[in-house]
Structure 1
Amino acid sequence: MKPVVILAFVLCAQSVKLPPNFQKCNRKDPNLNECVLRAAQHGLPQLTKPFRSLNLPSLDPLEISKVHIGAGGGSVSMEQDFHNCSIYGFEKLKYSLYVFDFEAKTLNVKGFYDKILIKCRYQLEGQVLQLPITGSGPAVITLENMDFSHFLNYEEVKKNGKTYIKFVKSLVGIEPKLVTFHFGNLFNGDKVLGDNINAVLNDNWKEVFTDMSKDLNETINQIIMNLLNGFFAKVSIEEAFD
């Protein structure tokens, strides 16, 4: 089962001009890649408030209604459902690469996160190293020192004499150096069992993250695809790259 991601904002279709506080680049600029990288880095931290005219929600925090993480087939296998999630730090990505290839119709992004904090309500059931695990309640997941990469393909859509970008395919990669978990109310609130299992999860975080990584990558992929497609449904290539 693929993860389900629901963003708490509504996409609109009519074209708008880019606000003056967002930097623009010219496609004829010989240093276009450097300009786009600066513009992306300048724009992302501004998203601590919503820009409704650009189809952009606040990223501080980014609110996600529902995510499903399927169970893997290894020594860690947990079926997980998360609800009412708040993701903190999403707007603090430090870009190292942000390259549009207008001939190949691709976007290549790389960067680094110091920390991503995820707070949700959860329900899970499965096993960790042959130990059963079940519970529901509050969850906190922290990803630290994380390399991020995203490669996207897009199509051009002509509308009212303007050209718009629609991303149709993409691949995300995340590689944290540390992941910590805390699932509250495991085993119906049994503190001893809950503390022990949380300790096992954190001692074996690489195995737990591997179990989650396929659906987690796809979840992040959907989030960013929704954000970018929302933005470029409003802002034409001619407007973004004058």
Structure 2
Amino acid sequence: MNRFVLCLLTVVAFGSCLKLPSSFKKCDRKRTDFNQCLSESIYGAFRILNKPLPSHGLPSLYDVEFPDLEIVLGNSTYGLLHKYDRFRFIGLSKPDKINAKLDFGTLTIEATYSQITIEVDCEAQGTIVLLPVNVITSSEFTFVDPTFTFSFELEEYEKGTTYFKVVDSNFDMQTQSVKFDYKQFFSNKILNEEFNSAMDAKSRQIFALFKSTEVKYAPLFGTIVNDFLKKIPVSEFFDG
């Protein structure tokens, strides 16, 4: 699995024996402009990881796969059961803007984008009105002007030196609209295109139905970040 947000604390090193690249902007926690500096550092780290960084064992954040994630909605007995898996996020390394803050041990990163595309496989069984449906199809959901907010509650602990660990995590998605592209939900091409068009027209209402699935992402992000933080001392992240 590609590892999303391995660089959320703006570090692009895979182990404590590696040095940060010269482009890394280290921030002083005692300065009043610390959160502004942190935002700039994280923005730079995202951009650096538009491509993999093999020397530090880091994958690209541009194309991130979550093949183990599964989301199930609906009921095949009384309507339509649809299952989504094999998620790929395209474009996470290219935020337009990052606002980050570290406050009382909680790191919050708000990343805004022009566009994020999620590629996913969809399996659907049941009925739409009275029309039977039994299909597996690849799909693309394009988020227009989205904002992704990651929140990690951090604690410091000692192991020869001071490290961070993630003790809780949250994730939130907001978007202006979503463009749906189910590649072959219906075998009839015209019907399939009209179905996608109808989904686009109601995208904000449909997106609201998916909001409850955000809880699926939060612990996944938390585990990934925690696995990374245990390798890097706090002193590597910040001055002061």
Q: Which TM-score applies when normalising by structure 1?
A: 0.79
Match of 2:140 in 1: 140
Seen in structure 2, the aligned counterparts of structure 1 residues 207 and 128 have a Cα distance that, compared at 3 Å, is farther
Query: Can you list the C-alpha shifts for 1:169-199, whole angstroms capped at 9, x where unaligned?
Result: 1222211101011112224x23344233223
Structure 2 CA distance for aligned equivalents of residues 45 and 14 of structure 1: 20
Gaps of 5+ in 2: 7-12
* Structure 2 SS opposite 1:91: coil
Aligned AA (1:155) = E
Judge conservation of contact 1:99–1:108 (CA < 8 Å) in 2. yes
Query: Can you list the C-alpha shifts for 1:67-121, whole angstroms capped at 9, x where unaligned?
Result: 3222159xx96532222x43211112234521112xx211122231110012233
* Structure 1 SS opposite 2:26: coil
Q: Does 1:167 align with 2:163?
A: no
Seen in structure 2, the aligned counterparts of structure 1 residues 42 and 184 have a Cα distance that, compared at 3 Å, is same
Aligned 1:44-63 pairs, distance under 5 A:
44-51=46-53, 56-63=58-65
Match of 2:194 in 1: 196
Match of 1:3 in 2: none
- Superposed displacement of residue 131, structure 1: 6.8
Structure 1 CA distance for aligned equivalents of residues 36 and 233 of structure 2: 20
* Structure 2 SS opposite 1:149: strand
Seen in structure 2, the aligned counterparts of structure 1 residues 89 and 219 have a Cα distance that, compared at 3 Å, is farther
Q: Which TM-score applies when normalising by structure 2?
A: 0.79
Judge conservation of contact 1:118–1:141 (CA < 8 Å) in 2. yes
Judge conservation of contact 1:128–1:201 (CA < 8 Å) in 2. no
Aligned 1:1-242 pairs, distance under 5 A:
7-8=1-2, 15-16=16-17, 17-51=19-53, 56-71=58-73, 78-83=81-86, 85-101=87-103, 104-125=104-125, 133-159=133-159, 161-187=160-186, 189-215=187-213, 217-222=214-219, 224-242=221-239
Structure 2 CA distance for aligned equivalents of residues 128 and 37 of structure 1: 46
Runs ≥4 in structure 1, deviation > 4 angstroms? Answer: 11-14, 52-55, 126-134
Structure 2 CA distance for aligned equivalents of residues 53 and 157 of structure 1: 28
Structure 1 CA distance for aligned equivalents of residues 45 and 14 of structure 2: 21
CA RMSD between the two structures: 3.0
**Identity of matched residues, %:** 26
- Superposed displacement of residue 154, structure 1: 1.7
